Structure 1
Amino acid sequence: MTTETLKKPVNISQSNELTEAAYYLPLQAKRVLWLCLMQCYPMKDDPDSVSPIFTVTVADYQKFFKVSVDTASTDVKKGVTALAGSSVVFYPKEGEFEEVKRPWLAEAGLKKGRGKWQIEFNYKVMPYLMGLTSQFTTYSLYDCGKINSVRVIRLYESLCQYRSSGVWITTQDWLSERFMLPESQRSNFAEMKRTFINPALKKINANTPLKAAMTQNDDGRLVFTILDSKS
């Protein structure tokens, strides 16, 4: 991918399988993943044309996340290192497995003196980046660029998945598992609501095109209502 590709509108598109996967990445790693997903976006209609090898530069990180070159260099290295040491859990809707855990990367190399990383994703993860189905979650990096909490970003991605219907129904257990929430929130819904859901919705409503609220059904399920101010 060239820098010219990154000058186009900064859209990110990922398969719903990835949106619904269980993983936790620090902010730097999430941003490195974004830089790769941005390169996938122009080719999402032809997944077979996308190479598993991506280039992530310090210059692009600095440009999109408005940090100094020194911070960008440190952040990219931290992000790549975190991706290289992390796994993601998928929940296939078909096949013999209920859940499958796979490492994100096959390899990552820093080009000498160029501020450029070459990242190769695990070939078994690539289909989830591009889509095993025709269903994608798409949003603009500019719409959530002010959010610096990874779990809030992941909640935003989930809400984006259901913005066309305006309603997302889920459970405390689903959020706990997929977002890898801390035990204090997993075991105590009041604590989850006070320290995660309510503050997250406040940040999303203030900093993105979405306006969302959450109520709880009599059966305990969580009902998120979503209004997209761009639609």
Structure 2
Amino acid sequence: MADYQQIFQVSRNQAIKDVKEGVFELSRSAVIFYPKEGSFDCVARPWLTEAGSRSARGIWEIEFNHKLLRYIYGLTNQFTTYSLRDCGSLRNPRTIRLYESLAQFKSSGLWVTTHAWLNDRFLLPESQQKNLAELKRSFLDPALKQINEKTPLLAKYSIDDSGKFLFSIIDKQNPV
């Protein structure tokens, strides 16, 4: 709980409330499978089999559904990871998602994408979808400013002749 309080700069009571809401949301969530074989063409499996709290100590113990464990373990090889400490001070959901996207490419140092992909990924408002200058002014530039100031990444972008966005990414903790 102390880590959560420090990262998100909230009181102990707020941290307890936030974590409780997160655990409850996870316990209500399920993974949907569409198997090609077997009795069912659609299977829903809940993430958790149990979640218990020791309220006085601010501790939660969660037990993942054993039928999902092989998928969860498989994520270790095919998933971008980063510490909440790295982006905990970012407040805007779109900025956090941009950070996640940049973090995927920090090892290569380059991310090439399109305006259409940005529209889909970030659910951009119509003004940013249609007007590149507006996208830069009201989303990309402020988001990158926050990411560069508050996270271990240093990123900038340019747009090539074909309209593709070229993001260069440097890990400030491990510069090449």
TM-score in terms of structure 1 length: 0.54
2:140 corresponds in structure 1 to 197
Gaps of 5+ in 2: 37-43
Aligned to 2:80, the other structure's residue is in SS state strand
Choose 59-68 or 116-125, whichever is displaced more. Answer: 116-125
Aligned to 1:174, the other structure's residue is in SS state helix
Identity %: 47
Deviation digits for residues 52-104 of structure 1 (CA, Å, limit 9, x no counterpart): xxxxxx45533543421111122112323444456789xxxxx98xxxxx887
- Provide the alpha-carbon RMSD of the alignment: 3.6
Structure showing greater Rg: 2
Aligned to 1:143, the other structure's residue is in SS state helix
Q: Distance in 2 between matches of 1:86 and 1:182?
A: 26
Q: Distance in 2 between matches of 1:172 and 1:122?
A: 39
1:229 corresponds in structure 2 to 172
Aligned to 1:137, the other structure's residue is in SS state coil
2:130 corresponds in structure 1 to 188
CA contact (8 A) 1:105 1:119 kept: no
Q: Distance in 2 between matches of 1:121 and 1:147?
A: 28
Q: Which has the higher contact order (CA 8 A, sep 6+)?
A: 1
Question: Deviation above 4 Å: which 4+ runs of structure 1?
Answer: 84-89, 120-130
Gaps of 5+ in 1: 1-57, 90-94, 97-101
Q: 1:111 aligns with which of 53, 64, 87?
A: 53
Q: Give runs of aligned pairs for residues 24-35 of structure 1, distance below 5 A.
A: none
Does 1:79 find its partner at 2:79? Answer: no
Aligned to 2:106, the other structure's residue is in SS state coil
1:207 corresponds in structure 2 to 150
Deviation digits for residues 90-129 of structure 1 (CA, Å, limit 9, x no counterpart): xxxxx98xxxxx8873456343644333334566765565
1:51 corresponds in structure 2 to none
CA contact (8 A) 2:52 2:60 kept: yes
